[in-house]
Structure 1
Amino acid sequence: MFLRAWAYTCKYIVEKGEAPRLLPEEITPSFEWKSIQDSKGLEEAYINLWATIGKRLESGSDSNPRSVEPLPKLEVQPNLLRANFHLSSEVIKKLRESVLRYHPEATDPTKRLNLSTYVLACSYVSICLVKARGGDADREVYFAWSADCRSRLDPPLPPNHFGNTAVVHHIVSKAGDFMQENGLAIIAEKLSASIKRLEKGLIEGSNERLEMLLSLGPEVQLISVAGSTGLEFYNTDFGWGNVEKVELTSIDRTGSFSVLDIRNGSDRRTEIGVALKRPEMESFASFFSNGVEVIF
């Protein structure tokens, strides 16, 4: 919401030479919070978790455990490479067809899988990351993703609600599931089922989930997606035309990958951003490109 409002303001200034007195209704931020029902006590739980994490990271310092100061900044690992990869709409179509070959029952409306571009891209990237990491096929791999809560709350929040109104969910599977020949179908089905569970319990387990994900040891591979996929970064116009290049710098520190939608007329692509050390990046690039060729 902030991005859209800021882009509109910048474009207005460029074109009109002055700041707008009012924003259009659809991008005027709404700051109404009273309708949000916190029946699970998430506010207190997250504040307590924030304080606990701060104490862990400070490791015995005399800092106030109830402080709301920012947590220590995550450092960028040395010798890290950043690269972008693209999945065309044609490749996404082939990925979908590949999944359906292993799940023919999904053509039944009552058993339909959520095979959106987001689900297919995340599933494909995650199996490439697991293969690139290698290691024991029996080790656990967690894939964490976030969902926009605004339209899913009861009562729902308006689409112009200002704030990071998102909830984290995850799936867990053995590394071997990602590495199988039908790994894409396995992970896409798991991710689809996780999304469907939002309809029954949007915030179920939220109290425990974040702390659990933050406490995973190095023996577990944690894969996550950075940013908000609903934001059309490449269609944002600050007054000089659409954005030419977008980089989510957080992936350098968090180990997440980014998924961005690029639309230019009939050309639609999904851009994947990853930051890995050279040996893992080379393996990832090989699995990514070779996997696409196998699909075709």
Structure 2
Amino acid sequence: MAMATLLETCRVLPPPTAELTVPLTFFDIRWIHFHPIRRLLFYDYPCSKEHFLDTLVPKLKQSLSLTLKHYLPLAGNLLYPLNIDDEKPVFRYVAGDSVSLTIAESSNGFDELVGNHARDADQFYDFVPEMPPVKLDEPNYKIVPVIALQVTLFPDSGICIGFANHHSIGDASSIVGFIRAWASITQHGGDDEFILTKQGDSSLPIFDRSVIKDPNGIDSIYWKVIRETPLKSSSFPLPTNRVRATFILHRADIKKLKDLVWAKKPGLVHVSSFVVTTSYVWTCFAKSGEELVADDVLEFFGFAVDTRARVDPPVPANYFGNCFGYGIAKIEHIKLVGEEGFVIAAEAIAEDIKNRVNNKDQVLKGAENWLSEFEKLSQVRILGVSGSPKFDLCSADFGWGRAKKLEVLSIDGENYSMSLCKSADSEGGLEIGLSLPKERMEAFAAIFADGLR
């Protein structure tokens, strides 16, 4: 298998600007030990190596510098205190801080990589940068870089933008905002457009932590637990022993699934595209397992919930950081894989959204216990979901059009997860990414296709 060839590694600095220190809220602290979030955007853009190196790369560096001016914490680091008794971690940007940018070239088949069929998961790590290691440059802190970027050329075929970020710096909404800003500034040759158009419905990012209310001091509760675990540098989970594949639910499929739920559960509210898509994938996934599972074993489905508009008072849409809770559904194995499994799953997910997720009094209830709840969830049979069609990352247009494919590499972890985004090829459709062992993927694909018939 051809590898990516490294052409250059450089550091990109924002224009000279004032220093900035931003505290971590409880939403951020809980992700300090989590693996980096790794994503790839593939663009169908045939260009020569000469044009890439002489024109595109300088433009991307220049626009990245300008983008970092608006997203300063990304150019900085997480400062992790070594003497942990008296202080908590912070994000800090000081003059000279920068982001690592790798430029590479690959002779891998572009069309093969952006296909939907099962492909070896390991090869995708050629296109995403390793996070720079944790450093001990200062006596009182470990210095933790929060983002790394890579741009890979497939000569005369396309370009891949790969990015890895520390989860504590920001959630999907925040990181997607940053990538879209970088794309807009690259496309327009400056940041006027980005500042004026207010990128979709949110303007420049805000880092003001006072918008996050924490009267019960959950940040201190979390920090007491988090600091017990030593901080270490991240690495790729290779070999993954997995294949990646993409499944598409077209608008007509989604309508059919909704009609099926409504026929059996006419009173159910919140039967959204998200609900029927995730329920359908969850049931197919449960049926695809080889191992024998006792009938009464509980199967869990977990999903992140952006709480910005769901708390009182609401948090501004352009708040940069983490701001999400989670939804959870659980069903006995025998019911989930049974004939009515899909409808039962849809009801369980829809009910959790109605009663907890969309309820301002409930969405953050019990947040002080989230760390121990997550610990328990890592021990059970669970399928998670990464990303949301609401944050349309593929719309990040660097001047090369809409991205042809999004691959979320972070779903290669030990627990199984699916990625979810708007479909590039099917208007109103959704694209589901999965990373599974080869045999299980084959079983899943057959069950998925069969169920839609």
- What is the TM-score with the length of structure 1 in the denominator? 0.82
Contact 2:180/2:393 (8 A) holds in 1: no
Matches within 5 A, 1:1-296: 1-16=174-189, 18-20=190-192, 23-24=195-196, 25=198, 26-52=202-228, 54=229, 63=230, 69=231, 73=235, 75-76=237-238, 78-104=240-266, 106=267, 112-134=268-290, 135-196=293-354, 197-198=356-357, 199=359, 200-216=361-377, 220-253=380-413, 254-262=415-423, 267-293=427-453
How far has the Cα of 1:282 moved from its partner?
1.3
User: When you count strand as a share of all residues, which structure comes out higher?
Assistant: 2
- Change in CA separation of 1:48 and 1:132 when aligned onto 2, cut-off 3 Å: farther
Higher relative contact order (CA 8 A, sep 6+): 1
How far has the Cα of 1:226 moved from its partner?
1.2
Contact 1:4/1:236 (8 A) holds in 2: no
Secondary structure of 1:100's aligned partner: helix
User: When you count helix as a share of all residues, which structure comes out higher?
Assistant: 1
Contact 1:76/1:252 (8 A) holds in 2: no
- Change in CA separation of 1:70 and 1:39 when aligned onto 2, cut-off 3 Å: farther
Structure 2, unmatched stretches of 5+, are 1-173
- 167-176 or 71-80, larger mean C-alpha shift: 71-80
- 162-171 or 200-209, larger mean C-alpha shift: 200-209
- Change in CA separation of 1:205 and 1:47 when aligned onto 2, cut-off 3 Å: same
- Change in CA separation of 1:132 and 1:281 when aligned onto 2, cut-off 3 Å: same
How far has the Cα of 1:71 moved from its partner?
7.0
Secondary structure of 2:408's aligned partner: coil
- Change in CA separation of 1:71 and 1:96 when aligned onto 2, cut-off 3 Å: farther
Contact 1:8/1:238 (8 A) holds in 2: no
Partner of 2:122: none
Root-mean-square deviation over aligned CA pairs = 2.4
- 277-286 or 225-234, larger mean C-alpha shift: 225-234
Q: Distance in 2 between matches of 1:6 and 1:143?
A: 29
Secondary structure of 2:214's aligned partner: coil
Number of residues of Structure 1 aligned to a counterpart in Structure 2: 270
How far has the Cα of 1:209 moved from its partner?
3.7
- Change in CA separation of 1:22 and 1:187 when aligned onto 2, cut-off 3 Å: closer
Secondary structure of 1:150's aligned partner: coil
Asked which structure has the greater CA Rg, the reply is: 2
Q: Distance in 1 between matches of 2:378 and 2:194?
A: 50
How far has the Cα of 1:113 moved from its partner?
1.8
Structure 1, unmatched stretches of 5+, are 55-62, 64-68, 107-111
- What is the TM-score with the length of structure 2 in the denominator? 0.55
